[in-house]
Amino acid sequence: MQRVIPIDGIDLATTLRTVAFLPRDPTVRLAPGHFERATVTPDGIGTIRVRWDHRPAEASVEAFGDGADWLLGRAERLLGVADDVTGFEPTTQPLRDVWRRNRGDRIPATGTLWHDVAWFIVQQRIDTDSAAEQWRRLVFDLGSEAPDGRETGAGTGATTALMAPPDAATVARLSYHHFHRYGIERQRADNLRTAARVASRLQALIDDGVGLDEAMPLLRSVPGIGPWTASCLAIQTWGDADTPIVGDDGIPSMVAWLLAGERRADDARMLELLEQYRPHRYRIIRLGYASGVKPPRRAPRARRDDIRRR
């Protein structure tokens, strides 16, 4: 199944990079002019493939597997077409120049709540490299090879097939100590298992069109979905441009350095600085990452702790 979607003015490589944030993520592939993601939909496993040319006006979108129809039906939101940047014109530096260089950046909405919540729970309270390794181990052990429309063994020159993450039922029935083999300690393992047990109820928030304001209290009522995870889901799953990421060690200081030249900040100070940018507060954070501007580091990186060695 295939669709052609108008994307005039959208930089897909920039837009989709947050969905492919973790290095070596076996569920996603992003390359020049090419994006693929394998996921779990309400209809089953599916893979979406997007291709585009340099400075394109449209993208070619294909989907495969039981979840193909569901993925194609949400493709515009994944590509950032639904993200409205009307009226967003920063006038102060360096924001004005950063936005000028990144005007094609949009906020994608995946709609895949179980995939996203599992992905973010693995990232809770650890560094990116460790999270990437642990997610990779979990997916390769519990997930499944995703459909991609290619014949097995065909000489297409393609890289290895993507893996779909494990479905919620698989995760829910495992004991917490099973996750130690991936480097995931008991607290995050319990968070994963709890979220898996209510995954269908959470996904219904998306499929029933529940607005973010109504959905957020329900998300936050799930043990293990705290402020950081909930705000990340608001952004990635719903594609919300105004939800600041809270509970993160580095983002408040990045925002304060970008907007006020202040080296250190907490969530309260970050929210104060972002208030004037409603309804684009997350867009400012996104531009902060795009700018590469960071306050000087004062402390060494935290030591990585591998639960498998305990």
DSSP string, 131-145: HHHHHHHHHHHH-EE
Q: How far is CA 106 from CA 54, 82, 84, 173, 245, in A?
A: 17, 9, 8, 37, 17
- pLDDT tens, residue by residue, 152-187: 544 444 568 999 999 999 999 999 999 999 999 999
- pTM as predicted: 0.91
- Residue entry with tokens 């996104």: 286
Kindly tell me if the per-residue pLDDT of 107 is higher than 70: yes
Q: What's the confidence (pLDDT) of residue 56?
A: 81
Mean pLDDT of 251-261: 95
Q: What's the confidence (pLDDT) of residue 309?
A: 43
Mean pLDDT of 3-23: 96
The more confident residue out of 138 and 156 is 138
Strand pairing category for 2-6 and 28-31: unpaired
Q: What's the confidence (pLDDT) of residue 55?
A: 77
For residue 75, what pLDDT band results from cuts at 50, 70 and 90? very high
Rounded to whole angstroms, the Cα distance separating 212 from 233 reads 10
- pLDDT tens, residue by residue, 119-128: 999 999 999 9
Kindly tell me if the per-residue pLDDT of 54 is higher than 90: no
Q: What's the confidence (pLDDT) of residue 241?
A: 97
Tell how many helices (H) and how many strands (E) occur in the chain: 14, 7
Kindly tell me if the per-residue pLDDT of 306 is higher than 90: no
Rounded to whole angstroms, the Cα distance separating 180 from 271 reads 36
Q: How far is CA 138 from CA 34, 118, 170, 171, 294, in A?
A: 25, 10, 11, 10, 32
Query: If you average pLDDT over every residue of the chain, what do you get?
Result: 92
Rounded to whole angstroms, the Cα distance separating 154 from 259 reads 52
Kindly tell me if the per-residue pLDDT of 43 is higher than 70: yes
- DSSP character at residue 164: E
The more confident residue out of 94 and 304 is 94
Q: Helix or strand or coil: residue 70?
A: helix
For residue 1, what pLDDT band results from cuts at 50, 70 and 90? confident
Mean pLDDT of 240-248: 97
Q: Which of 121, 92, 157 is nearest to 236 (CA)?
A: 121
Which CATH code for domain 2-83? Answer: 3.30.310.20
Query: Would you list the domain boundaries of the chain?
Result: 2-83, 251-291
Mean pLDDT of 281-289: 96
Q: What's the confidence (pLDDT) of residue 298?
A: 61
User: CB pairs under 8 A, 24+ apart, for 123-126?
Assistant: 123/22, 124/188, 124/191, 124/228, 124/229, 125/188, 126/304
Single-letter residue type at 67 = G
- pLDDT tens, residue by residue, 76-104: 999 999 999 999 999 999 999 999 999 99
